[in-house]
Amino acid sequence: MAVYKRTYRAYTGPLTSPAWRFLVLQRYALRAVFRSRFLLIGYIACFWLPVFAVCALYLNQNAGILAQVNQKPGFMTVDGRFFLLFLQIQGGLAGLLTAFVGPSLIAPDLTNGALSVYLSRPISRTEYILGKGMVVGGLIASITLIPALLLFAIQSSLAGYTWFSSNLFLVNGIVWSSLLLMAYLILLGLAMSAWVRWRIIAGALILAVFAAGKGFGAVVNAAMRTQTGDYLDVQHLLSAFAGSLLHHVADGEHVSASAAFVVLVVFCAMLLGLINRKLRVCEAAG
Amino acid sequence: MTAPVIELENLRVPIGKREILHGLNLELTSSTVGLLGPNGAGKSTLINTLLGFWRPSSGAARVFGHDVRTEARQVRALIGYMPENDSFIANMPAITYVRMAAELSGLPPEAALERAHEALFYVGLGEARYRKLGAYSLGMRQMAKLAQAIVHGPKLVILDEPTNGLDPQARLRMIRLILEMKALGAMSILICSHLLRDIEETCEEAVILKAGEIVHHADLEEERASNRRFVEIETEGDDGSFADAVERLGCACAVTAPGKIKTVLTEGIEIRDLYRLAADRDVQLRRLNYRRDSLEDIFLKAMEK
């Protein structure tokens, strides 16, 4: 490569499309995230369940192999419950992944004031959040939404058109519940990264907010003798929403899909407000 | 007709409920402009407004004819900004940082990498470009900030306190680079600094802000030219007849104290004419110097307003 030593020339070449420029942030952030081998191993480990599930779906329809172990095809029912369980386990792993990845997204830019350098370029605050959020979003989608849809496609191809047509509603449930989980975790990760500079504390807070809501909700329920505490338990809300869309509502479930959706959207809006507030201050402060 | 580099029209900018900039009117056309003012004068607010970080409540600010309120993206594409404070990612090598900055400005990845190498060589960090920014000295970080500001070939570079915290050698290197960039003529430069000497050495125009208002707008080139005609003389001998003779040459002249004369040389009159007059009248010229109305004088006068 020719390097111009000690001279300067203006750039006159072509420019990339402004619409996709936020992907630059995502690319660089993703590269930084995967510099950690620990995270890479953890991420690969998140695929054990999808691989196991593919094998189970295959065996479930393979009469030859099942005959050898005295089992009949269809030993496992693939329905809303199957996908709900899959999304619940993968959702928990997504929470862990967010706790590792989230804190390294915005905090390094704020620690040494790099934000003003980003935002003085033709890129908006929204695009900055989008670019950084896509790092977490992409990782979560790769262990929840995409494998769940792949499982649905595999099961459809193995079980045939009748199963596909009668279970098409599952796609709706998988997509919407995964998107809601992604939106919540992305915003939670970014908000903690923006407000808490110490990675370990930010990671712990992400886990605490995501997981400890159950305990907090239970305390509220016990103290106030109501069930309103369930609305503070994010995992419960996500399960209620997904369960309703996947046609597998748990016994005694009193949180409706629409109520869960509204509460989660409110949480997301609050997190977005927190991120925006922090970035707004740092943007102008330089 | 080319648009002015920066144009402000009754620009008012509030932060919260407090108005920081009070109706600024200005048109800057020079290639190097200095922005001066005490702390809290509104310099940073003006820069942040030009970058689109703060929205004006009324009036307009334009950069190369683009309104900062309605065409913020286009304005930012034309600007390279070197912030005053630290602005780097500690565990990122300089080459990656500058390349990313170029890509964010729209350069394709290959071109961005090439330009990042060039920019880092240009600011003198060629040999250290693969080192992490967190391991850089303060002077090197300033240079890295300059590299990211110019990597995409902006039309206007905003340098906020570019020599802040630099040792004399590093300061000289920075000033030399700014002068080189000015001489190349590829970009306009707006320098915001507390160091009047930096502005004096590098700029053609200076704008002095005080309490959110422009209190002085000086064409430094013109000031320098006029200063060359203002002469202070100390004499020994008959200063009265000498002063009369100088006046007869057409130059305004005043005897401020015995043996002390101030005069403004008119067009066509040179210093050697004064020596000739003194010799004719047997007057000794003990001291003769141009009264240098430095930027510091201009600044202090502006602060008294």
- The chain A residues in contact with chain B (CB within 8 A) are 1-16, 18, 21, 24-25, 28, 32, 108-109, 111-124, 283-286
Q: Which residues of A touch B89 (CB under 8 A)?
A: 108-109, 112, 114
Superfamily the domain B6-224 falls into: P-loop containing nucleotide triphosphate hydrolases (3.40.50.300)
Q: Which residues of B touch A9 (CB under 8 A)?
A: 118, 153, 186
Instruction: Give DSSP secondary structure letters for A73-122.
Output: TT-S--SHHHHHHHHHHHHHHHHHHHHHHGGGTSHHHHHTTTHHHHHTSS
Q: Which residues of B touch A2 (CB under 8 A)?
A: 114
Q: Which residues of A touch B189 (CB under 8 A)?
A: none
Specify whether the CB–CB gap between B107 and B89 falls below 8 A: no
Rounded distance, CA A240 to CA A219, Å? 19
Q: Is B115 on the interface with A (CB under 8 A)?
A: yes
Q: Which residues of A touch B85 (CB under 8 A)?
A: 113, 116, 285-286
Task: Give pTM, 2 decimals.
Answer: 0.82
Mean pLDDT, rounded, for B285-292 = 79
Which residue, chain included where needed, has tokens 């330009």? B115
Instruction: For residue A183, name the pLDDT band (cuts at 50, 70, 90).
Output: very high
Any residues with CB less than 8 A from the CB of A140 and at least 6 apart, and which? A94, A97, A98, A178, A181, A182, A185, A186
**Residue B48 and residue A6: Cβ atoms within 8 Å?**
no
Specify whether the CB–CB gap between A78 and A57 falls below 8 A: yes
Token couple for B28? 């800057």
How many degrees, rounded to 5, is the angle at CA A36 between CA B110 and CA B87? 60
Chain B residue nearest residue A14, CA to CA: B107
CB neighbours (10 Å) of residue A3? 11
Mean pLDDT, rounded, for B167-177 = 90
Any residues with CB less than 8 A from the CB of A31 and at least 6 apart, and which? none
Token couple for A66? 């099942």
The distance of B107 to chain A (nearest Cα, Å) reads 5
Chain A residue nearest residue B83, CA to CA: A286
Rounded distance, CA B120 to CA A4, Å? 10
A222: three-class secondary structure by DSSP: helix
Whether ipTM tops 0.85, in short, is no
- Please give the interface size between A and B, counted as residue pairs whose CB atoms are below 8 Å apart: 128
pLDDT single digits (tens) A45-94: 999 999 999 999 999 888 888 888 877 777 888 999 999 999 999 999 99
Among A269, A273, A275, A271, residue whose Cα is nearest residue A109: A275
pLDDT at B294 over 80: no
CATH of region B229-295? 3.30.70
| Residue ranges of domains in chain B | 6-224, 229-295
Per residue, the 3-state secondary structure of B8-53, as one string, reads EEEEEEEECCEEEEEEEEEEECCCEEEEECCCCCCHHHHHHHHCCC
Q: Is B49 on the interface with A (CB under 8 A)?
A: no
**Residue A16 and residue B106: Cβ atoms within 8 Å?**
yes
pLDDT single digits (tens) A84-125: 999 999 999 999 999 999 999 999 888 888 888 899 999 999
pLDDT single digits (tens) B41-83: 899 899 999 998 899 999 999 999 999 999 999 999 999 999 9
Among A273, B145, B300, B156, residue whose Cα is nearest residue B136: B145
**Residue A119 and residue B106: Cβ atoms within 8 Å?**
no
B266: three-class secondary structure by DSSP: coil
Token couple for A96? 């862990």
Chain A residue nearest residue B145, CA to CA: A117
Chain A residue nearest residue B113, CA to CA: A1
Closest partner CB to A24 (pick from B104, B181, B187): B104
